[in-house]
A and B are shown apart, each in its own frame.
Chain A
Amino acid sequence: SQQGEEDPQALSIQEGENATMNCSYKTSINNLQWYRQNSGRGLVHLILIRSNEREKHSGRLRVTLDTSKKSSSLLITASRAADTASYFCATERAGSYQLTFGKGTKLSVIP
């Protein structure tokens, strides 16, 4: 069953704009991770945020986590054409050491 669900399913923006993607989940988590996938390739880990953290930054990425609302957001600032990819959130099932991935947000950055 899907744990994380991303929103929107697709997003198209101009280069230089910010992109925000959201993820909602259903059960308690230890951490939430965001991954990027370029077309037809494997996933690349972007950032991990633990349940006791509220915000985390990595370069142009900013992730927030609201455990009371069971939601997270990924913000990419000053987007570039190279950011065009699908973005997935993944949550850990409690005690299982497995990740459950959402269906992803497809981001298109237009030069």
Chain B
Amino acid sequence: DVKVTQSSRYLVKRTGEKVFLECVQDMDHENMFWYRQDPGLGLRLIYFSYDVKMKEKGDIPEGYSVSREKKERFSLILESASTNQTSMYLCASSLFSGTSTDTQYFGPGTRLTVL
């Protein structure tokens, strides 16, 4: 079974802090994704990566950056956390099929609260 793990289930940070959310997958997937999920808004894509050191902006990249130094690890960074970044953060990974989007496998999520 594909396993996607996220570094924390719950996280509480203060406004202005630098926050790192880490995601690790064990199935040698090329693609990795970071979403945030908010009530009434569904899942929104923040960033994704299709290879080591490659990244692409999603729909809402403002206030976030990412890092992918190894294939299995994709980090989401909040340079200076703000209260409007309080949310559930979901990481996912998928194979690169070359022609279309494959199944995405999700981690359990990190519920981040910024005070």
Contacts and interface: CB of A to CB of B under 8 A. Distances in A.
Interface of A: 1-2, 30-31, 33, 35, 40-45, 48, 50, 88, 90, 92, 97-104
Contacts of A100: 45
Interface of B: 4, 31, 33, 35, 40-43, 45, 48, 50, 58-59, 88, 90, 92, 96, 99-101, 103-109, 111
Given A48-B103, A88-B43, 6 more contacts: A41-B109, A50-B100, A90-B104, A97-B50, A97-B96, A98-B33
Contact of B109 (A42, A88, A101, A104): A42
A44, A90, A98, most chain B CB atoms within 10 A: A98
Given A40-B111, A41-B109, A98-B48, A103 B103 contact: no
A97 B103 CA distance: 11
Given A88-B43, A97-B31, A103-B40, A40 B109 contact: yes
A101 B101 contact: no
A31 B42 contact: no
Contacts of B43: 43, 88, 101
Given A43-B90, A88-B42, A99 B109 contact: no
Contacts of A104: 42
Contacts of A2: 42
Contacts of B40: 103
A92 B103 CA distance: 11
Contacts of A92: 100-101
Contacts of A97: 31, 50, 96, 100-101
Contacts of A31: 100-101
Nearest to A100: B45
Contacts of B101: 30-31, 33, 92, 97-99
